[in-house]
Structure 1
Amino acid sequence: MKRTSLKFSFIALSALLVMSCHDELDQTPIDPDTVTEQDVFADASQAKGALAKLYASLALTGQQGPAGQPDISGIDEGFSQYTRMLYNLNELTTDHAVVGWGDPGLPDLHAMSWSSGNDFTEAMYYRLAQEVSFTNSFIANANLLTDPIVEQYIAEARFLRAFAYYNLMDLYGNVPLTTEISTELPEQASRAEIFSFVEQELLDIQSSLATDGSNEYGRVDEVAAWALLSKLYLNAEVFTGEARYNEAVEFSEKVINSSYSINTNDANGNGSAYDELFLADNNVNGAQNEFIFALNFDGLQSQTFGGTTFLTHASIGGNMNALDYGVNAGWAGLRTTDALVKKFDVTDDALNNSFNTISNWAIIGSATPNGWNDPDTDMYEVGTDVYQIFATLSDGEMKFRRDNDWAVNYGGADGNAELNGGNISVDAGRYLITLDLNNNTYTLESIYNDLPDARAMFYTNGQSLEIEEIPPFEQGFAVTKFKNIDSNGNQGSDNTGNYVDTDYPVIRLPEIYLNYAEATLRGGNGSEATAVNLINEIRERAYGNSSASINSSDLTLEFVLDERSRELYWEGQRRTDLIRYNLFTTNDYLWPFKGDAQNGVSVPEFRTLFPIPNDLLSINPNLTQNEGY
């Protein structure tokens, strides 16, 4: 998709730039169908309609649906939607995702080589700037009304403004802080100053928001303020250099003790209540009980090429049938890396489906599924003279042999494959078994536990686990997490299959459970026993029973990070998590194509922040670019 340099409407620019255009909004428009600010803020009822625009600006992209009157120009309108950009910046830059499309600047995100002029990092900045602009305008005008309910509307607008600044601080670091309409060029605030602003706003508004669980679905209440404070304090050490884990525990507890609850309603009867969270009726099927802050999507009333429409379509390709996911076609773009897959307990069959070619080599022995008896357990050819299989083995012994015949067999010790060598001793477990006859070696890589995890929502048939090149869709497992199918198996409301009904959970209760556990382990004054119980509640839903429950000895920071990955993948959290663990840029954790290398390499630390848009720097001399750009 060819694009010229980004150009943004004054609505987006005004938030963090000059506000001189605001007077134009006070003029009576020539178009009689256009609603003036005087009309919008005539009374509380009209103000509520304006409040809806503040929520909608995080879900939609313009004034007339999927395309045509964008808020941000110079980039494909669907690309500029908030949750699509959140995915690009917080998931695509990590071990959770790759994309095969070649739009300028997009491959650079997973390669961690973006420039200061990257379209996508700029578009996200302006999307959030627009939200600040809208909320500032709303607050100024709503303050003129005297109806008591307007105080709650203003509190909701302040929450959304604080949420926008939380994102700006996380993604860009030091940014201008503006809370009112002004013609002055704003100064650049430090990350610590933005942190203090967000913190104070959320503390101030909590008693003005709707009480716990009392607001309309899709609008925030006091629990949302507590949840955002939980996130804020968990990341305080990154944002300000000062740990605030006691406060992270405190506000996590307030959320945990609220009326929100983990969904356990298996509405479609498939044995798991996890997939309901990402179905087309997740506003009514029980999932809504754990959605603290969600963005609403409707295939007829709120059409966009971002949001869950993007997550559903873009994840479908290869030999997947788009109709199975409630849409009319796949966009053949998004997949995941083996780094995410290996965090799950996935069945042997599902993993072996990723191999295309059965070979004439196999494993045999007391440790293998069929013992020493025929038939052997066939391996798969993954390269010239390289063979693999995922298998669950017992305590015992095994060998490799060709054509179900002892004429050609390999055994040996210490990974050395010897013709007619001795039996290989094996401890019980699940393994990726590799025989490489180029150098006569074998490996048994233990990477999985014994039980299936319902959160592992991957399509493997015809998809390779390993990625040698990113563009081909068939390389890397496809993710089937988001669907436009309801709990009864029906397609969403748009019968053309273009647009998706599934709502997007920005903050949901399990994240706060995991915040509590991590903050406790990092020194917060929480209870490790409580943390174990909370995580086990999440895992019991994932496994269908308590067989995968952990105990206190299992509760480590590494385990919590992996559990966050399993529970929250593709929900816009991963980059922030990896930065908090000092794993995002370092060589302490590598994943496929990190740093644009197939096996991954470290990248410079400045990549923990994205660049301030170049347009802003040229217009406002008060701003300084982030280091490294």
Structure 2
Amino acid sequence: MKISLKKTCYLLLFVLGVNMTFTSCTDDLNVTPKDDDEFLSDDFFQNPDSYKQVLAKLYSGLYVGGNDGDGTADIGGIGGDFSSYLRLLFVTQELPTDESIIAWADGNLPSMNTQTWTPGNEFLYGTFSRSFYEISLANEFLRQTTDEKLTSRGVPDALRADIQYFRAEARFLRVFDYVQLMDLFGNVPITTEADPVGFYYPVQKSRAEVFAFVESELQDLTTKLVDSKQNEYGRVDKTAAKFLLAQVYLNAKVYVNADKNTEALSLCNDIIANSGYIFKSTIPYAYLFSADNDRNGAQEEIIFPVVSDGNVIRATGGGMSFIIHASIGGSMVASSLGMDGGWAGTRTRKEFVQSFPSNFNDDVRATFYKSGQALDITNISTFTDGYGVNKFINVNSDGTAAQRNDIPDTDFPMFRMADVYLMYAEATLRGAAGGNLATAVNYVNAIRTRAHATSVANDANFNLDFILAERGRELFWECHRRTDLIRFGKFSGGSKIWQWKGGVKEGAATEAYRDLMPIPSKAIQANPTLRQNTGY
């Protein structure tokens, strides 16, 4: 077992079972406990262990789709396996891009491959609902951990001190949800612990208002969270807040039409100089995505992991189980990747493969499987059309087996230091005050040296187009691509084309309004005050 928080999470899910079913007038925006006598109630919190148990539930929501793994789903209308946060993040951030495509024809899933989705897409509804469900849990936890509540329960001082950090972590996980909502949907409601519990329609806010809320929360959390590297592995600290804020600033031109590259650069400098996290140049790139990436040295680079454990976190269709299982098919040998089989789903597209050297040995990040796979994708539903991807594996870095072969141990690196290096380089090229081009080149070359790729020079070829390509090579399948392409003006439209973009094999330009996802029609039915995004 990697961390005690994991065991706490498992025990919580086991104990609560179906008592964690939530409902409300909107089903996804104002989610409140079905029975206050069962969970998140004064009675429940009489047990001192309950505070960390609920914190564990907040973290587990990033991986599992229900209280017993994939079984009892948190979100109505979409199964627990399909509604895993990490799985939905992959669906929205990777499938609409040049980095991935999926063979399956489940419901409206194929439209995610082609940028042809509609407001009725159940996977977008799942994404929207999952985020607000997690927000509702965080809000109720914050309501139950005020000074007044803790005093009334006679909570001892030592536990109260811990709870203040728990509250900061709950706020971070809540603001992480709001960043995803702002990024994907733009104008969304903001609900906090100050809002009433019960029947009401949360008010939709502009993207600018959501940005201001996110910025304020993250600025405060850089002082309220546990000091950098002083928390349990798998839990966030001050550096995670700084990283997320740097991401938000780097995308500020998209979100609020404001240049905040200087602010992003300042945060990157702070993380590099002061956080204690390091770019781990002394380990192979593959170690970052192996089953023991919590202890093989990769943990020194990973700032915020979504923790996996084959024995403790039993989610067969969620999180990393989906990412690894779905990538195995054709002639691929599942056992060589530490798994019990494959689901013949995800692979990558020709244009992304071609961003690497033709000799894949010249860049170890080109973890493509070619045997029996066609480079061209003639038929989306044929797994052998498109190269496979072996980036994430459920095998320890020394070649030994993980704990089991049906559910992986491999942690998902949500934030890591290589991304900080790349954000520094991009902010510098975008004109951030204080940025140093030679330093940016050195950071990128550190990344490329670990990848056994050729170093780049400080010349005209070191430009934004190169940085976008390098972000793809280093971070592919880590759920950044859609956001990156939008920031570079390459997602919708015709400036960058890949196979099946727009629904045709050769690729086609798509409408600019697709830079935002539609507000799901079910959400609007539940809360008629919501207004649809332009174009939908």
TM-score w.r.t. the length of structure 1 is: 0.77
Give 1:75 deviation, angstroms. Answer: 2.1
- SS, match of residue 505 in structure 1: strand
What is the CA-CA distance between 1:222 and the residue it aligns to? Answer: 0.3
1:124-135 mapped onto 2 (5 Å cutoff): 124-135=127-138
Q: Write out aligned runs for 1:228-627 (5 A).
A: 228-257=244-273, 258-266=275-283, 273-304=284-315, 305-347=317-359, 452-494=362-404, 497-525=405-433, 526-543=435-452, 547-627=454-534
SS of residue in 2 equivalent to 1:330 = coil
Runs of 4+ in 1 over 4 A off after TM superposition: 11-16
Give the whole-Å Cα distance in 2 for the aligned partners of 1:17 and 1:202: 22
DSSP 3-state at the match of 2:451: helix
SS of alignment partner, residue 135 of structure 1:
helix
**Which residue type is aligned with residue 210 of structure 2?**
I
1:199-210 equivalence runs, <5 A = 199-210=215-226
Which deviations, in whole Å up to 9, do the C-alpha atoms of 1:175-209 show, x marking residues without a partner? 00010242331111000100010110011121111
8 A Cα contact 1:465 1:475, kept in partner: yes
Is 1:99 matched up with 2:102? Answer: yes
Q: Distance in 1 between matches of 2:36 and 2:107?
A: 39
Q: 1:626 to 1:309 in 2, by over 3 A?
A: same
Q: Is the partner of 1:615 in helix, strand or coil?
A: helix
Alignment equivalent of 2:22, drawn from 2, 5, 10 = 10
Structure 1 residues 473-506: Cα deviation after superposition (integer angstroms, max 9, x where no partner): 1111000001110112122212xx2111100011
Instruction: Report the CA distance between 1:17 and its aligned residue.
Output: 3.1
Relative to structure 2, which stretch is displaced further, 84-93 or 552-561? 552-561
Give SS of 2:414's match: strand
> Distance in 2 between the 1:214 and 1:109 partners?
39
Give the C-alpha shift of residue 39 in structure 1.
Answer: 4.6
Aligned position for 2:187: 174
User: What CA deviation, in whole Å up to 9, does each residue of 1:342-401 have, x standing for no partner?
Assistant: 111242xx6xxxxxxxxxxxxxxxxxxxxxxxxxxxxxxxxxxxxxxxxxxxxxxxxxxx
Percent identity over the alignment is 42
For the 8 Å contact 2:261–2:427, the answer to whether it is kept is: yes
Give me the whole-angstrom Cα distance separating, in 1, the residues matched to 2:395 and 2:424: 33
Inter-CA distance 132–562: structure 2 relative to 1 (3 Å threshold): same
Q: Which has the higher strand share?
A: 1
Residue 373 of structure 1: aligned partner: none
Q: 1:15 to 1:170 in 2, by over 3 A?
A: farther
Deviations 1:39-82 (A, max 9, x none): 543366431221111111111111112x3211113223211111
In structure 2, the CA distance between the partners of 1:165 and 1:471, relative to structure 1 (3 Å rule), is same
CA contact (8 A) 1:40 1:49 kept: no
Alignment-mate amino acid for residue 583 of structure 1: K
Query: What residue number does 1:198 align with?
Result: 214
Q: CA deviation at 1:320?
A: 0.9
User: In the alignment, is the contact (CA less than 8 A) between 2:24 and 2:30 conserved in 1?
Assistant: no
Contact 2:28–2:132 (CA under 8 A) maintained in structure 1: yes
Amino acid at match of 1:215: N
Q: 1:18 to 1:288 in 2, by over 3 A?
A: closer
| Superposition deviation, residue 263 in structure 1 | 2.1
Looking at structure 2, the residues matched to 290 and 14 of structure 1 have their Cα atoms a distance apart, in angstroms, of: 40
Q: In structure 2, do the counterparts of structure 1 residues 12 and 128 end up closer, same or farther at CA, with 3 Å as the change threshold?
A: farther
Contact 2:366 2:473 in 1 (8 A): yes
Contact in 2 for aligned 1:263/1:287 (Cα 8 Å) = yes
Distance 1:598 1:36, change over 3 A: closer
1:37 Cα offset (Å):
2.7
Give SS of 1:50's match. helix
Query: How far, CA to CA, are the matches of 1:220 and 1:84 in structure 2?
Result: 20
CA contact (8 A) 1:536 1:549 kept: yes
Offset from partner CA, 1:278-329 (integer Å, 9 cap, x none): 1111110111111111110111110211211111111111111110001111
1:212 to 187, 212, 228: 228
SS for the counterpart of 2:415 is strand
**C-alpha distance after superposition, 1:78-137 (max 9, x if no partner):** 111111111111110000011111112111111111111001111011111111001101
Counterpart residue identity of residue 563, structure 1: E
Give the aligned partner of residue 59 of structure 2: 55
Q: Structure 2 vs 1, CA of residues 63 and 12 (structure 1 numbering), >3 Å: closer, same or farther?
A: farther
Structure showing greater Rg: 1
| Aligned amino acid, residue 36 of structure 2 | D
Structure with the larger helix share = 2
In structure 2, the partner of 1:397 is none
Instruction: Please list the CA deviations of residues 140-159 of structure 1 after superposition, one character each: whole Å capped at 9, or x if unmatched.
Output: 11123361222111111111
Alpha-carbon spacing, 1:460–1:294, altered in 2? closer, same or farther (3 Å)? same
Aligned residues of 1:12 and 1:127 also touching (Cα < 8 A) = no
Q: Deviations over 1:575-620 (max 9, x none)?
A: 1011111111111110011001111111111111111121221232
Deviations 1:236-289 (A, max 9, x none): 0100111111101111111111211122343xxxxxx11111111111011111
CA contact (8 A) 1:15 1:132 kept: no
Q: Distance in 1 between matches of 2:301 and 2:497?
A: 33
User: How far off is 1:339 after superposition?
Assistant: 1.1
1-side partners of 2:282 and 2:291: how far apart? 15
> In the alignment, what sits opposite 2:9?
none
Aligned ranges for residues 26-37 of structure 1 at < 5 Å? 26-27=36-37, 29=38, 37=41
Equivalent position amino acid for 2:51 in 1: A
Provide the C-alpha distance between the structure 2 equivalents of 1:39 and 1:564, rounded to a whole number of angstroms: 49
Kept in 2, the 8 Å contact 1:297–1:303? The answer is: no
2:162 aligned partner: 149
Normalised by the length of structure 2, the TM-score is: 0.90
Does the 8 A contact of 1:456 with 1:566 survive in 2? yes
Whole-angstrom distance in 1 between the partners of 2:521 and 2:491: 24
Total equivalences in the alignment: 501
Give me the CA root mean square deviation.
1.8
Residues 491 and 11 of structure 1: is their aligned pair in 2 closer, same or farther, counting only changes over 3 Å?
A: farther
